[in-house]
């Protein structure tokens, strides 16, 4: 027997709430106990964790993995206007093109996309040049880097949507520039998390500077070592384990503030004490280090490497949400998930209409329904059609595989 109830849930602003606070702001909906939902069942309507977080669409089963992740996080209840069924029940309501559909011209701004792409490419080139100067000339200046990061902070705070979209569009470079690509992507994600945590501007600049330089100790290690898919030798393992201390000492030698230097030392520490080099845990790890650890992990999960294929953003989010072994700070992980959503901007998806598309935006008036650009459907001026998903119209079924995207 699945326990349910109907109640009015009040709107709550600020940090995401677990368990009893989970339904903030979603209005009158049925409440279901997670423990009573059979694994693999389908809900006839979208399932929510709260006002900002969509868990499953009607076409997506409520998997056992998701149930376990919710339990690990302490979430006991979920919300839906629908009912659980053993098999998928298609929605017989409105078709795509009715409620919730926006004029594409009001959502997409091609000029902003081009500006974001140009900014991203310039930021990547800046970072490549910066790392080359550090490696070859031993040159690094805090104020110079902070000025560059301020520009990134300003763009993220103005509109992170376009920056995230072009970040997924631009493939990471080869082995030679892996560290620069990783640093740039991690920095953008870290600033997004920091902004969600409501850090003031000067702290966002500190956080972004720390994120850009957190792997500075790796600059003196050959890419053949840190990108290798073979077992490392004992000397190579020692080099990897020593790079946090090396990076910290380098930043201190350049007179960087302690708050900016510490993440170079601590970004591999974990909440449960399983990290390195000092096996710190919990409150002993600095906030910037906690944020950068999550940003780096999400970046690594969702980016292609010579030794592994990239996971899609949805799968990366679920893996971080599981937080196996409690490696990451719960508040920071939630900030990532809530600020990018479970279907992150840039994700390629299969829609309930059978069409393929890409998540390009989140409508601020209905943040639980992402805006999707539809492939194969054109506007009168020949551009790809853009629609806002809706519980009663178009839904996301699942992310697309790489083969489906390239096919």
Which residue did the predictor score with more confidence, 289 or 364? 289
C-beta atoms surrounding 313 within 10 Å: 25
Q: Do 67 and 120 share a domain, yes or no? A: no
Q: Do 30 and 118 share a domain, yes or no? A: no
pLDDT band at 231 (very low <50, low <70, confident <90, very high): confident
Is 102 a member of any domain?
no
In this prediction, residue 176 carries a pLDDT of: 59
Domain containing residue 383: CATH number: 2.30.30
For the four alpha carbons of 119, 263, 206 and 287, in that order, the dihedral sign comes to positive
Which residue did the predictor score with more confidence, 306 or 86? 86
Cβ-contact 280, 299 below 8 angstroms: no
Q: Do 216 and 363 share a domain, yes or no? A: no
Reported pTM: 0.67
Whether 98 shows a pLDDT value over 60: the answer reads: no
Displacement of CA 400 from its chain's centroid (Å): 17
User: Given 53, 85, 117, which residue is the final one in a domain?
Assistant: 85
Residue 61 belongs to domain spanning: 4-85
In this prediction, residue 99 carries a pLDDT of: 32
Distance of alpha carbon 397 from alpha carbon 356, whole angstroms:
10
Least confidently predicted of 8-12, 361-365, 384-388 = 8-12
Domain containing residue 276: CATH number: 1.10.3210.10
Is 389 a member of any domain?
yes
In this prediction, residue 22 carries a pLDDT of: 41
Token pair of 342 as six digits: 């479970």
Q: Tell me the pLDDT tens digit for each residue of 166-182.
A: 776 665 555 557 889 99
Displacement of CA 393 from its chain's centroid (Å): 26
Is 91 a member of any domain?
no
In this prediction, residue 52 carries a pLDDT of: 55
pLDDT band at 24 (very low <50, low <70, confident <90, very high): very low
Q: Do 125 and 221 share a domain, yes or no? A: yes
Which residue did the predictor score with more confidence, 25 or 145? 145
In this prediction, residue 170 carries a pLDDT of: 66
Q: Do 129 and 236 share a domain, yes or no? A: yes
Q: Do 187 and 311 share a domain, yes or no? A: yes
In this prediction, residue 29 carries a pLDDT of: 63
Distance of alpha carbon 215 from alpha carbon 221, whole angstroms:
11
Q: Do 348 and 336 share a domain, yes or no? A: no
Of 320, 404, 319, the residue nearest 356 (C-alpha) = 404
What mean pLDDT is predicted for residues 285-306? 87
In this prediction, residue 48 carries a pLDDT of: 81
Whether 305 shows a pLDDT value over 80: the answer reads: no
pLDDT band at 109 (very low <50, low <70, confident <90, very high): low
In this prediction, residue 352 carries a pLDDT of: 86
What mean pLDDT is predicted for residues 323-345? 82
Which residue did the predictor score with more confidence, 263 or 12? 263
User: Given 305, 320, 340, which residue is the final one in a domain?
Assistant: 340
Residue 26, C-beta contacts closer than 8 angstroms, at least 6 positions apart: 9, 48, 50, 51, 79
Q: Do 148 and 217 share a domain, yes or no? A: yes
pLDDT band at 66 (very low <50, low <70, confident <90, very high): confident
How many folded domains does the chain comprise?
A: 3
Is 43 a member of any domain?
yes
In this prediction, residue 186 carries a pLDDT of: 95
């Amino acid at each position: 027997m699945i326990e349910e109830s109907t109640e009015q849930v009040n709107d709550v602003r600020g940090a995401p709430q677990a368990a009893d606070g989970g339904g903030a702001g979603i209005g009158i909906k049925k409440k279901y106990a997670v423990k009573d939902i059979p694994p693999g069942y389908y809900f006839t309507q979208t399932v929510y964790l709260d006002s900002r977080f969509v868990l499953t669409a009607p076409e997506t089963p409520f998997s056992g993995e998701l149930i376990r992740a919710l339990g690990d996080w302490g979430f006991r209840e979920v919300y839906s206007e629908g009912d659980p069924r053993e098999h998928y029940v298609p929605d017989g309501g409105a078709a795509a093109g009715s409620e919730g559909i926006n004029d594409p011209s009001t959502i997409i701004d091609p000029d902003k996309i081009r500006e974001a792409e140009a900014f991203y490419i310039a930021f990547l080139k800046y970072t490549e040049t910066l790392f080359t100067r550090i490696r070859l000339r031993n040159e690094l200046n805090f104020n110079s880097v902070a000025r560059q990061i301020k520009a990134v902070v300003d763009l993220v705070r103005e509109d992170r949507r376009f920056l995230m979209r072009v970040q997924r569009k631009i493939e990471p470079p080869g082995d030679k520039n892996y560290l620069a690509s990783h640093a740039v992507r991690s920095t953008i994600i870290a600033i997004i998390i920091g902004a969600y945590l409501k850090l003031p501007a000067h702290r966002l600049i500190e956080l972004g500077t720390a994120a850009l330089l957190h792997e500075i100790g790796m600059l003196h290690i050959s890419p053949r070592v840190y990108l290798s898919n073979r077992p490392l030798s004992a000397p190579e393992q020692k080099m990897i384990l020593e790079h946090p201390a090396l990076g910290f000492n380098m930043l201190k030698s350049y007179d960087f503030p302690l708050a900016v230097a510490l993440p170079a030392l601590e970004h591999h520490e974990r909440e449960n004490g399983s990290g390195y080099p000092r096996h710190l845990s919990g409150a002993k790890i600095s906030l910037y280090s906690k944020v950068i650890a999550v940003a780096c992990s999400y970046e690594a999960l969702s980016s292609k490497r010579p030794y592994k294929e990239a996971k899609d953003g949805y799968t990366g989010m679920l893996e971080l949400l599981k937080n196996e072994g409690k490696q990451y700070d719960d508040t920071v992980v939630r900030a990532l998930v809530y600020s990018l959503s479970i279907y992150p901007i840039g994700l390629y998806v299969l829609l309930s209409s059978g069409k393929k598309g890409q998540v390009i935006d989140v409508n601020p008036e209905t943040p639980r329904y992402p805006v999707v650009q539809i492939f194969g459907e054109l506007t009168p001026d020949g551009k790809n059609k853009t629609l806002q998903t809706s519980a009663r119209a178009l839904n996301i079924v699942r992310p697309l595989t790489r083969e489906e995207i390239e096919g």
